[in-house]
Amino acid sequence: MATDGTADIVVVGGGMVGLASAIALKDRGLDVVLCDPGEARARTSYGNAGVVSRGSILPMSSPALWGKLPAYLRNADCGLRLHYAHLPRIIPYTAHFLAAARASRWRRAAAALLPLTTAAYPAHERLAARAGTGDRLQRTGWIKAYRTEAAFAAAALEREILASHGVAFEILDTAALRALEPALVRPYARGMLLTETGSVREPGRLIEACEALFDALGGRRLRSHVARLAPEAGGWRIDHDSGTVQARQVVLAAGAASGAIARTLGYRFAVAAERGYHRHYALHPDSPPLTRPVLDTGAGSILSPMGDHRVRVLSGVELNARRAAPDHTQIEAASREAAGTLRLGGPLDNAPWLGSRPSTPDGMPVIGRAPRHTGLLFAFGHGHIGLSTGPITGEIVADLATGRTPAVPVAAFAPERLLRWPRLL
Ligand SMILES: Cc1cc2nc3c(=O)[nH]c(=O)nc-3n(C[C@H](O)[C@H](O)[C@H](O)COP(=O)(O)OP(=O)(O)OC[C@H]3O[C@@H](n4cnc5c(N)ncnc54)[C@H](O)[C@@H]3O)c2cc1C
């Protein structure tokens, strides 16, 4: 097997989290190798909604789950699609998820995530300025839109928690929402505008620009798939498709593939791939532009402007094997609903894009040192907020790798919590 020599540290995975980590590690003066097969569309960081919000502190495992469970189990809510044949493979994830769906746990997760999401936008600004993509990051705010007063009332706990943490938002009635975002033709009962929020137009372009920045900093990229991480005296041997690298440290940032890689080292994380789809549509030429992302809570889908009068329609969560054949049920439903919300033309891409959110059951990422291996850092499991919190995670990883105390507290993100069975009471 060919050798690519040595490095101080190898980063496995070149999505938002891995790239940001690799750049921050270069900034600390380390010799960094980044391994990723390099298929842009295979990265979840390529195809997301681009929302970067301080208010993204409320995990999917919410107390509201229990009321929605009958519809979820029948696949009658387009926000979630279950593939029953896959469920036995994610029993630990599901057990943790159900245990986390309590108000007390929701509040605790929100408090732990707040410093991370608060640091997310400034970290994006710093990275975008260096990568030359500052014009793609716009502080637009984003809207959660409710079709009925009942749906709005059901989200009262969310508003209470956000307010208790000083997260800024404005409540809009039908007319105010229409005035703010005239592209919306659906008469929503209420909207919540989260103002401390930016959005990235075409997140894939940010990823490409970060690759170029890493190259310019002298980082080495291997367009290769890591097959094995092997601990050896004084460090690690990283076997990949076309060779091997030796390094003192490794960062596992392979998104939804991280759980399977960690398993080869004996770590059985309660994690899952939450699959999601997108499809682009042109807005009708006579429609006003959509100026900020909108979550249609009634459809469980996001409508995100991508520039050039284009909108990216994104689906909810599909629980299925990461590599299973695409199931377009949800994105087709989301697209039909979107056609009632915006004046849309036809789809702009041949087939929907599919990505996998690297999800943990408590909605918090795994960031920290591996409990049983020296020189192994975990940075995955960012679920629904990995585009936004990727850049700050990179800075945290670089601090941990160089023995500094991160600016953001990370105790709540420790790997250990997902390596044991949950306490149900
Ligand atoms: C529909 C949808 C909408 C979303 N909207 C938002 C949003 O608005 N805001 C937000 O913050 N987040 C959003 N997310 C979530 C966000 O996209 C993810 O959390 C984030 O992209 C995860 O980044 P990552 O770097 O961990 O993973 P990825 O971007 O998936 O990167 C992982 C990388 O690891 C590589 N890899 C895998 N296996 C190996 C291996 N063996 N060797 C080497 N490399 C490997 C892959 O090729 C890939 O490039 C959304 C996700 C979806 C699906």
Helix (H) or strand (E) segment spanning residue 235: strand 235-240
Query: Ligand 1 within 6 A of 17 CB?
Result: yes
Q: Assess contact for 20 and 81: CB atoms under 8 A.
A: no
Instruction: Using the CB atoms, write b or e for 316-331: b if 16+ within 10 Å.
Output: bbbbbebeeeeeeebb
Burial class (CB in 10 A: 0-12, 13-18, 19+), 74: exposed
Strands (DSSP E) found in 169-234:
169-173, 190-194, 197-200, 220-222, 226-232
pLDDT of res. 425: 45
Question: Among 41, 353, 377, 387, which is best to mutate for testing ligand 1, by the most ligand atoms less than 8 A from CB?
Answer: 387
Q: How far is the CA of 257 from the centre of ligand 1 (A)?
A: 10
Instruction: State whether the beta carbon of 36 lies less than 6 angstroms from ligand 1.
Output: yes
Question: For the chain (length 425 residues), average pLDDT per consecutive 10?
Answer: 79 98 98 94 95 98 96 95 96 95 97 98 98 96 98 98 98 98 98 98 96 98 97 96 96 98 96 98 97 97 95 98 96 98 95 97 98 98 98 98 97 96 65
Q: Is the CB of 254 under 6 A from ligand 1?
A: yes
380 lines ligand 1 (CB under 6 A): yes
DSSP 40: G
> Which atom of ligand 1 is closest in space to residue 226's alpha carbon?
42
Query: Is 42 close to ligand 1, i.e. is its CB under 6 Å away?
Result: yes
User: Hey, what CATH class is 3-418 in?
Assistant: alpha beta
Q: How many C-beta atoms lie closer than 10 Å to residue 215's C-beta?
A: 12
The 10 Å Cβ neighbour count of residue 5 is: 13
| CA dihedral of 300, 306, 311, 313, whole degrees rounded to 10 | -30
Beta carbon of 297 within 6 Å of any ligand 1 atom: no
Beta strands 243-252; 3-12: pairing state = parallel
Amino acid making up residue 280 = H
Is the distance from the beta carbon of residue 223 to the nearest atom of ligand 1 less than 6 Å? no
**Does the beta carbon of 13 lie inside 6 Å of ligand 1?**
yes
Contact 171, 22 (CB under 8 A): no
Q: Where are the beta strands (DSSP E) in 195-300?
A: 197-200, 220-222, 226-232, 235-240, 243-252, 272-283, 294-296
DSSP tag of 425: -
Ligand 1 centroid to Cα of residue 182, in Å, is: 32
Maximum Cα–Cα distance across the chain: 66
* Pocket flag, ligand 1, residue 257 (CB < 6 Å): yes
CA of 255 to the centre of ligand 1 (A): 5
Question: Are 413 and 365 in contact, with CB atoms under 8 Å apart?
Answer: yes
Looking at residue 184, its pLDDT comes to 98
Domains in the chain: boundaries: 3-418
For ligand 1, is residue 301 a contact (CB within 6 Å)? no
Residue 129 is which amino acid?
Answer: A
State the pLDDT at residue 1: 45
Q: For residues 163 and 186, what is the distance between their CA atoms, to the nearest angstrom?
A: 27
Do 301 and 64 form a contact (C-beta atoms < 8 A)? no
* 35 CA → ligand 1 middle, Å: 15
Could you tell me the distance, in angstroms and rounded to a whole number, from the CA of residue 358 to the centre of ligand 1? 7
188 CA distance to ligand 1 middle (Å): 31
How far from the centroid of its chain's Cα atoms is residue 12's Cα? 17
